[in-house]
């Protein structure tokens, strides 16, 4: 995840919470991809600060250093080195098909930097450096994993050796898909210009209450899951993700009640979920020395793996 802006509820329910719940099943490596963040303009001080904030949030949400390694991408130079090598094995036609580049570049294809264009190869390097077998992503990232697999197969085939490991996308079918509070037809996003469109993990209770109170619903005032009513269905989906209840159980709970009662209950659940996360977050942010030590140790623990991968790649390519 890029260290750009505050992490929101959609990031937590759709991704981070799932990482936490499954972290004892795998050897986990979590990388804060600050080099990806500079593919678009960003203030230097803001980037540095956001990187530490994201690390603190990851830990506050429950990532356990006994089960995972957490580090900053730019602290391990092999990410950039492998990316350049793999750029030389990636056809332009593959990159031209990447939909995220087109959406981020918009109508300014000639004005964007080359880094944005080559972003998918750096993402592939992030994965391949550590011989990852599974990559937990949302469905919108499936194309990036497919590109990574294409690069692996092209590279290994050219040299006749299984140098790079073929990864698989790990996409949870039941992952929560949280939509914008103001425009429930689109995903909740930290880049949305409207701050009322999302619940940030660091929002105070009064801010959460205000945002939920303003959240888009409709005129029916019937608390019921209905794809034709995306506003209330999105809020109900959030409530379901927080409580683990079945749809029928939630509808029965609010039968005969209006949006006011439901939004009050949702606000209460949100505050109860986020308060302990916020408490732990500020504990980490109040001890930046320890946080820096955690990130340093994380980078030190993965660097030998990255170096060995690059050594093997350079050897078969003939570099050095």
Q: Is 187 annotated as a binding residue?
A: yes
Q: Which of 184, 210, 186, 206 is nearest to 196 (CA)?
A: 210
Rounded to the nearest 10 degrees, how much is the dihedral formed by the CA atoms of 158, 86, 94, 99?
Answer: 150
- The token pair at 308 is 């060995």
User: Which H helix or E strand runs over 69?
Assistant: strand 68-72
Q: Is 140 annotated as a binding residue?
A: yes
Say how many CA atoms lie within 13 Å of 14 toward its Cβ: 19
Q: Is 300 annotated as a binding residue?
A: no
Q: Is 188 annotated as a binding residue?
A: yes
CA distance 203 to 310: 42
CA distance 48 to 308: 28
Q: Is 11 annotated as a binding residue?
A: yes
Q: Is 34 annotated as a binding residue?
A: no
From residue 295, alpha-carbon distances to 6, 56, 58, 210 in Å are: 19, 10, 12, 35
Residue numbers annotated as active site: 104, 187, 190
Q: Is 10 annotated as a binding residue?
A: yes
Q: Which of 313, 301, 274 is nearest to 68 (CA)?
A: 301
- The token pair at 227 is 């794809």
Q: Is 186 annotated as a binding residue?
A: no
Q: Is 182 annotated as a binding residue?
A: no
Q: Is 237 annotated as a binding residue?
A: no
Q: Is 200 annotated as a binding residue?
A: no
CB neighbourhood size of 91 (10 A): 11
CB neighbourhood size of 157 (10 A): 9
Q: Which residues are annotated as a binding site for ATP?
A: 2-4, 10-11, 138-140, 178, 187-191
Q: Which residues are annotated as a binding site?
A: 2-4, 10-11, 126, 138-140, 178, 187-191
Q: Which residues are annotated as a binding site for L-tryptophan?
A: 126
């Amino acid at each position: 995840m890029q260290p750009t802006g505050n992490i929101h509820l959609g990031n937590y329910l759709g991704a981070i919470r799932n990482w936490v719940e499954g972290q004892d099943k795998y050897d986990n490596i979590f990388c804060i991809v600050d080099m990806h963040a500079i593919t678009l303009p960003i203030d230097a001080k803001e980037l540095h600060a956001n990187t530490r904030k994201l690390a603190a949030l990851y830990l506050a949400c429950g990532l356990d250093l006994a089960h995972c390694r957490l580090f900053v991408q730019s602290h391990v130079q092999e990410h950039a080195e492998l990316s350049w090598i793999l750029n030389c094995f990636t056809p332009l036609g593959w990159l031209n098909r990447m939909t995220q580049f087109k959406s981020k570049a918009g109508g300014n294809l000639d004005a964007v930097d080359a880094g944005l264009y080559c972003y998918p190869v750096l993402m592939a390097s992030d994965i391949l450096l550590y011989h990852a077998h599974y990559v937990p992503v949302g469905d919108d990232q499936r194309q990036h994993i497919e590109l990574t697999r294409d690069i692996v197969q092209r590279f290994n085939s050219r040299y006749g050796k299984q140098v790079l490991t073929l990864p698989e996308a790990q996409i949870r079918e039941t992952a929560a898909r949280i939509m914008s509070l103001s425009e429930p037809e689109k995903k909740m996003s930290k880049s949305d210009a409207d701050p009322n469109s999302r619940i940030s993990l660091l929002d105070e209770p009064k801010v959460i209450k205000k945002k939920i109170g303003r959240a888009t619903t409709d005129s029916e005032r019937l608390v019921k899951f209905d794809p034709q009513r995306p506003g209330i269905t999105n809020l109900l989906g959030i409530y379901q993700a927080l409580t683990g209840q079945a749809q029928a159980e939630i509808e029965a709970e609010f039968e005969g009640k209006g949006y006011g009662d439901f939004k009050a209950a949702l606000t209460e659940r949100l505050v109860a979920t986020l308060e302990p996360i916020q408490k732990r977050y500020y504990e980490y942010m109040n001890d930046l020395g320890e946080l820096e030590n955690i990130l340093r140790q994380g980078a030190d623990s993965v660097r030998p793996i990255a170096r060995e991968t690059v050594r093997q790649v350079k050897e078969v390519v003939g570099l050095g």
